[in-house]
Structure 1
Amino acid sequence: METKSFNLSRKAEDYLEAILNVSLEKGYAKTRDIAKELGVSPPSVVEMFIKLDRLKMIEYRKYEGVILKPSGREIAEVIKYRHDTLMEFLKLISVPDKIANDDACMMEHELHPKTIEQIHLFVNFLKERGSKNHTLQDFDEYCTVKRSAENSG
């Protein structure tokens, strides 16, 4: 799941993804919701809303919030797909949720689309084959043994 390049900054992509996430959860996205989601100030959100509105990615209505336009939604869905794929992979290999989320946020902007697709296929493969093989269980045991050895030596 990829889209053509729009040459948006990582920050703008993060805003589009946050707008999508909040909208999916609440049915709408207001300045304060996005500020909370991204850990930024409301004035910063308004500034980005104005930029994204000028780019025709969102429709910004002062005091009412924002709506993703088709081009903004397309980008937001791709970024969300990339993030969700990376989160699933990192959690599959037992990376703690907070770290997995933070790392997925960084990697979602940097990895090649083919890499994301291969990770997506790998995660699905492991999920589908999970009951037939013990790869993940073996990996967990391996990690436990290695950590134990590192801590004792």
Structure 2
Amino acid sequence: MYSLSRKAEDYLEAILNVILEKGYARTKDVAGDLGVSPSSVVEMFRKLDAMHLVEYRKYEGVTLTEKGRAVAEVIKFRHDTLKRLFLLLGVSERAADEDACLMEHELSEESIRRIRLFVDFLDSPDAPADVQGAFEAFCRGKAGESGGK
């Protein structure tokens, strides 16, 4: 993958998410998705355009280049994989999304692949019966213990 900052990766992922939702990505849409100002978005659009990851047209928005889309899809895959894991663990939607956003940039490809296989396994018919229910019961038991290690 390209050597990009976490911020640039977040923008590529946001652009892809907006495009998947709306079919196009405009400055205000990406700004809303990331919770940043439109001027910050325009600045990053220009940087990503210079790197040939997007095509930015003032007043029209942005499209991903083939390279940009490939990078964005890898980042989205990582994010979605981690978020699914956290949701299976019973983490709230908000925390799962925030934590996935933090971790998607840091884990190795090997770890992400294994986590994805594990999550896919837990969601498959091959998973042991009610493994999630057993885990929830385990967690409730641990929460009831005092002075845990």
After TM superposition, the score normalised by the length of structure 2 is 0.94
| Residue of structure 1 aligned with 2:111, choices 105, 115, 122 | 115
Q: How many angstroms does 1:131 deviate by?
A: 6.5
Give the counterpart letter for 1:141 in structure 2.
A
CA distance in 2, matches of 1:121, 1:74: 21
Residue of structure 2 in register with 1:135 after alignment: 131
CA distance in 2, matches of 1:101, 1:132: 27
Give the counterpart letter for 1:107 in structure 2.
M
The alignment-based identity, stated in percent, is: 55
- Mapped pair 1:39 → 2:35: yes
Query: Any stretches of 5+ residues in structure 1 without a counterpart?
Result: none
After TM superposition, the score normalised by the length of structure 1 is 0.92
| Residue of structure 2 aligned with 1:64, choices 49, 55, 60 | 60
Q: How many angstroms does 1:25 deviate by?
A: 0.3
Q: How many angstroms does 1:149 deviate by?
A: 3.3
CA distance in 2, matches of 1:143, 1:132: 18
CA distance in 2, matches of 1:128, 1:98: 25
CA distance in 1, matches of 2:61, 2:120: 36
Aligned length: 147
Instruction: Give a deviation string over 1:43-101, Cα, whole Å, max 9, x none.
Output: 10000000000011000000000000000000000000000000100100001110000
Residue of structure 1 in register with 2:98 after alignment: 102
- Structure 1 residues 68 and 46 mapped into 2: Cα distance closer, same or farther (>3 Å)? same
CA distance in 1, matches of 2:103, 2:145: 30
- Structure 1 residues 147 and 130 mapped into 2: Cα distance closer, same or farther (>3 Å)? farther
Q: List 4+ stretches of structure 1 deviating above 6 A.
A: none
Q: How many angstroms does 1:144 deviate by?
A: 1.5
Instruction: Give a deviation string over 1:100-138, Cα, whole Å, max 9, x none.
Output: 000000110000000000000001111114664222111
Residue of structure 2 in register with 1:27 after alignment: 23
Residue of structure 1 in register with 2:83 after alignment: 87
Give the counterpart letter for 2:141 in structure 1.
V
